Structure 1
Amino acid sequence: MRQYLIGAVLISLLAASCGASKKDDAANLNDKKAELQKLKGKQQELTTQISALEKELAKLDPSAAAKPKLVAVTAIDPQNFEHFIELQGKVDATNIAYVAPPNGQGGVVTALYVRQGQAVRKGQVLARLDDQLIRQQIAPLQVQLTTAEDTYKRTKNLFDQGIGTYQNVLNAETQVKTLRQQIGVIQKQAALMTVTAPMSGVAEKVDVRVGETFTGMSALGPQISIVNTGNLKITTQVPENYLGRVGVGTTLEVSLPGTGKTLTTKVAVAGKIIDPTSRSFQVEAPVPADPSLKPNQIAVVKIRDYASNNAITIPLNILQNDEEGKYVMVAAKEGAKMIARKRRVVVGELYGERLEIKSGLQSGDVVVTEAYQELYEGQPITTDAKLVTK
């Protein structure tokens, strides 16, 4: 009983300790947030006081006026802006054939006429399978057919001379036809032991040798496959959240790291089903015939999902934040001086290092691109190093 009481007490103490720890963490977090807000308020207050004092000093003692801060600037020039999503895709062959034995069963390879990488044409003989047992059935039937044909000729001649009956002639003729049909069936079976190319292309894989059994498929996959590289496509999986932006006709920019080549194409097929595992759908786009492209080759696919003409853009790194939101420092011409001013902005899309500005800047505005983090509202600035006293 005492052990149970001790255990209960320990559990209670641990629970209380954990609860206290969580409360302490929450209190510590709130304290830090409050401290940060307090410091930001002081920073803003100090910046305002510094600016006011510098203005007063400039009036009382022009020689003590704040020296301009050396900065670099650039003028806003509207330009076309595009946003792309980058995905990994691959090169696929539209036409790829896995060669199968014509008889549906296969057999032992007695001759092989194709090697991996060889160009083949439709109908070309690729291999022959062992048909010895089949052809062995033909020889005795040929002997029987020869005998039956002789019998038919004699019976027909005798009947023409008035000897014998017409039924004898019909029986002899039927025997000849039956034997010919049997031989024809066996010859067709023998022909099915010849493996031919189902289409023109390149023998991408030849995984069978003379003496081995050819069934079309092995534990390692297709034994002979043919690829027509004259009709290739790019395939990639697009995340579900881009469903409304990517469809048939969407422009793709494809780069092939293995070859250093890039090409532009358009989506020809957009999947209608979302893969439940990856939450994505497949798109396909044709690419021109190119012998340097290989099926299953990795491709980097850039899909344009947004475009804006005459957009205002800035380098991403010059965007700053404070308690009131996002802003950039601009150079404003005020009289003979250039003054740093905060300009509040609303941002749009980001691609690479360029950020679209929806509002807050316009064509011709001059933004500060260097030393902007050291500026405060109303600070004199210059781009001329000679005006800055070292």
Structure 2
Amino acid sequence: MAMPRHLLRLFAASALTVLAFASLSACSDGHDKKPVERPAPQTAAGDLLTVTTADIDDIKRLSATLTTRDIGEAVARIPGVLMTLNVREGDTVSKGQVIGVVKDQRLNFEASAYTATALQAEADYKRIKTLYDKGIYAKARLEQAESAWKAAQAQRAAAGELAGQGVIRAPATGVVVKADVPAGAVVMAGQSVATVTAGPRVVRLQLPEPQARALSVGQIVELEANGLTASGTLSQIYPAVDKGQVIADVTPAGLDQVLVGERVITSLSLGKRRGIQVPAGYVATRYGLDYVRLVAPDRTFSEIPVQTAPLSAGQVEILSGLKDGDRLAPYGAVK
């Protein structure tokens, strides 16, 4: 059924009224809304830094070990049972001090047998000497008995010396850093029973052969160990290469509280290279990212991310993100 005309005219008029009201509301909202005010750009103040590429020290951080110039091993010279060990880690010993005893009953039995043989040979010699003096034995018989007696004496002395080698003595004056063989243990000839440090304390490091060519005796090395910082002097570069590594010793000025054998982090220069370095005050770190304030010609600045690497003396190397001629503002200098 078709809608009456008067209803169609009424519906059209209502629709036009709604559209007109919506248009007026939109115009009204546009006139009432205030414009957004943008903050004025900040300008840099303070000393501006112009970025330039220059020679910087090629600093390498390497792991080393605190040790001593010489290390002595107190070893067992004969096989047997370690009867006593008189030292522990940390004890101070003197060179030649008895620190342990090794016994081998077989050697003791051999020494006793050679002693008995020597006594018998001595008695035979004296008896034959008496008969020789009386003209009963010939001189050849006396010389034979004398030779047998001297040979028996030499065997007894050798057996006694071998049995006496069970005494273990300190190889040098120093501090015992290792003594882990318990008394009563069976040891072999040449086995280490205790380790004794001797000589001055040094920091010993290893580095690849190509990098070792840049080292020189007397250069300063920065040291870190157990929360302590110190400096040292490169005192010796060993003239040998072992599996592509060169060993060098650093004499530390400090680190007296660091234990022998403890790890030490060394920072040493391996020459010069070209790069960009800036003071650490021009770099800020937020959420693991480093930023600098790049200054425009109108002294406004913007923060940009950069890649950095730490250097000594409060300097930071810029690996990427800047070029020569860029100007930076320090953090905290804003107006």
TM-score tier by shorter-chain length is: 0.5 to 0.7
Q: How does 1:105-120 map to 2 (within 5 A)?
A: 106-120=79-93
Which residue does 1:256 correspond to in 2?
225
Secondary structure of 2:184's aligned partner: coil
C-alpha contact 2:178 2:194 (8 A) present in aligned 1: yes
Does the residue aligned with 2:330 lie in a helix, a strand or coil?
A: strand
Flag structure 2 segments of 5+ consecutive residues without an equivalent: 1-39, 285-291, 302-307
In 1: Cα distance, 2:214 partner to 2:309 partner: 14
Contact 1:73–1:370 under 8 Å retained in 2:
no
* Structure 2 residue identity aligned to 1:186: A
Q: Deviations over 1:170-197 (max 9, x none)?
A: 1221221121122112112202222222
Give per-residue Cα distances to partners, 1:36-75, cap 9 Å, x unaligned: xxxxxxxxxxxxxxxxxxxxxxxxxxxxxxx895532215
Q: 1:239 deviation in Å?
A: 9.2
Greater percentage in helix: 1
Q: 1:228: how far off? A: 2.3
Decide whether the 8 Å contact of 2:81 with 2:103 is kept in 1: yes
Structure 1 segment 1-390 matched on structure 2, within 5 A: 69-74=42-47, 82=57, 84-103=59-78, 106-215=79-188, 223-228=193-198, 230-237=200-207, 242=211, 245-246=214-215, 250-258=219-227, 260-266=228-234, 268-269=236-237, 281-288=245-252, 292-305=257-270, 313=278, 316-317=282-283, 328-329=294-295, 339-340=298-299, 351=311, 353-355=315-317, 360=325, 368-369=329-330
Distance 1:306 1:354, change over 3 A: farther
Shift of 1:204: 1.4
- Measured after TM superposition, the shift of residue 317 of structure 1 is 3.6
Contact 1:254 1:300 in 2 (8 A): yes
Check 1:307–1:350 CA distance in 2 against 1; reply closer, same or farther (3 A cut).
farther
Q: Distance in 2 between matches of 1:132 and 1:211?
A: 14
Instruction: Report the RMSD for the aligned CA atoms in angstroms.
Output: 4.4
C-alpha separation in 1, matches of 2:152 and 2:185: 34
Q: Which amino acid aligns with 2:181?
A: V
Whole-angstrom CA distance in 1 between matches of 2:106 and 2:73: 27
> Aligned partners of 1:113, 1:255: CA distance in 2, in Å?
35
> 1:255, CA displacement in angstroms?
1.6
Structure 1 counterpart of 2:99, one-letter code: L
Rate the CA distance shift 1:159–1:265 in 2: closer, same or farther, 3 A.
Answer: same
Instruction: Report SS of the residue matched to 1:293.
Output: coil
Cα distance in 1 for partners of 2:145, 2:240 equals 66
State the distance in 2 between where 1:370 and 1:233 align: 39
3-state SS, counterpart of residue 301 of structure 1: strand
Equivalent position SS for 2:77: coil
Q: Deviations over 1:79-132 (max 9, x none)?
A: 9965523233222333223333213xx211222222222122222222212233
**Cα distance per residue 1:263-305 (max 9 Å; x no partner):** 22226327875967xxxx4442232496533333121211124
**Secondary structure in 2 matching 1:209:** coil
The structure-2 alpha-carbon separation of the partners of 1:124 and 1:349, relative to structure 1 and needing over 3 Å to count, comes to closer
- Cα distance change of structure 1 residues 115 and 159 upon mapping to structure 2, 3 Å threshold: same
User: Percent identity, aligned pairs only?
Assistant: 18
Distance 2:82 2:41 in 1: 89
Amino acid at match of 1:286: V
Count of aligned pairs: 274
State the Cα distance separating 1:262 from its structure 2 match.
Answer: 0.8
Please report how far the alpha carbon of residue 216 of structure 1 lies from its aligned counterpart in structure 2 after TM superposition. Answer: 6.9
TM-score normalised by the chain length of structure 1: 0.55
Q: 1:137, 1:371 → 2: CA distance?
A: 88
CA change 1:212–1:196 in 2 (3 A) is same
CA gap 1:358/1:93 in 2 versus in 1, 3 angstroms: farther
Mapped partners of 2:315, 2:70: distance in 1: 41
Q: Contact 1:108–1:211 (CA<8 Å) still a contact in 2? A: yes
Partner Cα separation in structure 2 for residue 251 and residue 267 of structure 1: 10
- The residue number in structure 1 matching 2:26 is none
Mapped partners of 1:82, 1:128: distance in 2:
55
* SS of alignment partner, residue 74 of structure 1: coil
Normalised to the residue count of structure 2, the TM-score between the two structures is 0.63
Deviation at residue 166 of structure 1 after TM alignment: 0.5
**Counterpart of 2:259 in 1: which secondary structure?**
coil
